[in-house]
Structure 1
Amino acid sequence: MVLSVPAFAQTDVDVEVDDVTMDVAKHAREHRNNGIKNIVAEYMLEQGDITQEELDALKARRAAVREELKALKESGDEEALAARIAELREERAATREEIKAYIDSHEDLAAIIQERREEVRDRRDQRREERRARRGERGEK
């Protein structure tokens, strides 16, 4: 089955329904390093440095913080919102330093992360070359 496209939006490409996916954020900066966060969490879990309950509690806390920020934003209290965001930034900086220290103390984890970054970089470069090739075929810059 071929999708129907309005006349003003027609192109030279027919799209098959089977080819349509819902991977909207497929390449969006590899989901802002979530892969690396997951690698660290899985490693800590395997090493026994954190429990699944602690990971679930962190996830629940992040959800609660998002709801809190949403409520502050909807209330219109700009000062309270700015103060809470500043607190969260300080907490995030401290957590980030702890994670960096953890990674530095575990060389095998650092190697896994470096390998993952290289894979992401290679995929990004490949997509960039594919885009350049497509643009070259169409005669664009």
Structure 2
Amino acid sequence: MITSPRINNVNFVSKKLKLGELRYNDKYMVVVFNEGIDVNFDNFGEITDIIKSQYGTRPFGFISNRINSYSIDLSDANKFNKMFPNVKAYAVVAHNSITERIFEIEERFFTFNRKSFRNIDDAIDWVEFTLSTSK
């Protein structure tokens, strides 16, 4: 569950998907992936469709609130990098040190402007600031 009053309001669309819970507005999306899933390019299709229809080629932000444990197929990183060149801010909310170490490994594979945070509000602040200064 995504828990922040800043994204639990009428300005955000909320959807339950096969991969997890998604909230988004006209600037960024926040996702909580389900426990134990493997995120890969093929099963990311529902989210890809929302990104393409919501943002098109406009800059947008993505926040992964890593409450649950899941994996990302790093062999698909290049596909994600090419598919979403308009991701200007990719924040990860790491709730423990293991998740922070995983984020550091992923850094080597993804070309997005990425940063790790310990709480959702700091991640939102950074994404909003980054998008406001991005061209």
Q: TM-score, normalised by structure 1?
A: 0.19
Q: Which structure features the higher share of strand residues?
A: 2
Q: TM-score, normalised by structure 2?
A: 0.19
State the structure with bigger RCO (CA 8 A, min sep 6), 1 or 2.
2
Q: Which structure features the higher share of helix residues?
A: 1
Larger radius of gyration: 1
